[in-house]
Amino acid sequence: MFHQEGNKIILGMLTFAIIASILADIFILNNYIKYSIIGACMVLLFLVLQFFRNPKRDFSLDQNVLLSPVDGKVVVIEEVFEKEYFNEKRLQISVFMSPINVHVTRYPTAGEVVFSKYHPGKFLVAWHPKSSEENERTTVVVKSPSFGEILHRQIAGALARRIVNYAQEGDQVTQSSDSGFIKFGSRVDVFLPLGTEIDVTLNQTVKGGITVLASK
């Protein structure tokens, strides 16, 4: 199964791979060069298909836990001052996604979307200290009955050139449902109330909509 955001890119890459392979087979006599071109086309197609995959998962929804919004590795767990929405200290958990991770962004909790904003910006590497403030990004806040307001922020990286955000203010959303998609790499930050019990550790591998980040 593939995510809808990849439909045009997959179709374009498939068309390119077929045409390039046919032309190589017709016009290139050197077998080594010919099959190298065909092989490269197949590898590129495979990478695009892998990037936009959207595997079916059995989600266990629970309003007493916050789930990871994305697949990846936990690279930050720290207390920070969040100045875009809360203007106060919060616990930040950041998950870095490599190009081989599933890139669907999911709601970590159910509730009402009370804030959703897109910010154009730079494309610094996702682990750069200023990427959360200077890169292209979207900020979404969901008001949860159990945890209060939970903010998650999609941040573009050096490869990412398109952030898709489905959240609209006033929406009633379900935990683990699609919040958006980041095309080709990057990271997601989640901001939690101080005192929230954290259930992950640094460098832990997490799965979107499956791994519990924090609990009551």
Task: Name the residues annotated as catalytic.
Answer: 186
* CA–CA separation, 88 and 18 (whole Å): 54
For the record, the structure tokens of 166 come out as 């489905």
Half-sphere exposure of 212 (CA within 13 A, CB side): 13
Which runs of E-coded beta strand occur in 99-177?
Answer: 104-106, 111-119, 137-144, 148-155, 162-165, 172-173
**Cβ 41 vs Cβ 91: under 8 Å:** no
| SS3 of residue 167 by DSSP | coil
